[in-house]
């Protein structure tokens, strides 16, 4: 299979959070791999919107705005957006 990504992905397997906007609650998820342009996120049992914020727990203060590029039953592929997600 031919690799079509612009940047290679690095295995990360890090805990992350996706804020819901309701009373500072958030979904917990795992970022499985990452590149400068996007990531693959384990989002089992989470109904993600097309665009959302991703907060990396181990890297305090790192927030990435994301858009879903593809999804399957257990994971989603996201691209990082340069602008804020509301």
- pTM of the full structure: 0.80
DSSP string for the chain: -----SS--EEEEEEEEEE-SSTT-EEEEEEEEE-SSEEEEE-TT----SEEEEEESSSTTEEEEEEEEEE-SSEEEEEEESS---
List, for residues 29-80, the tens digit of each pLDDT value: 999 999 999 999 998 878 888 999 999 866 666 889 999 999 988 899 999 9
What is residue 3's predicted lDDT score, i.e. its pLDDT? 61
Domains of the chain, residue spans:
10-81
* CATH ID of 10-81, from 1.10.260.40, 2.40.10.430, 3.40.50.12780, 3.30.1300.10: 2.40.10.430
Greater confidence (21 vs 29) lies with 29
């Amino acid at each position: 299979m031919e690799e079509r990504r612009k940047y290679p992905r690095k295995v990360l397997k890090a805990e992350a959070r996706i804020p819901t906007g309701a009373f500072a609650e958030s979904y917990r998820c795992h970022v499985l791999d990452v590149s400068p342009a996007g990531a693959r996120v384990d989002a089992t049992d989470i109904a993600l919107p097309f665009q959302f914020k991703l907060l990396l727990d181990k890297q305090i203060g790192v927030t990435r705005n994301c858009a879903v590029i593809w999804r399957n039953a257990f994971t989603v592929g996201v691209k990082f957006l340069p602008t804020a997600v509301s």
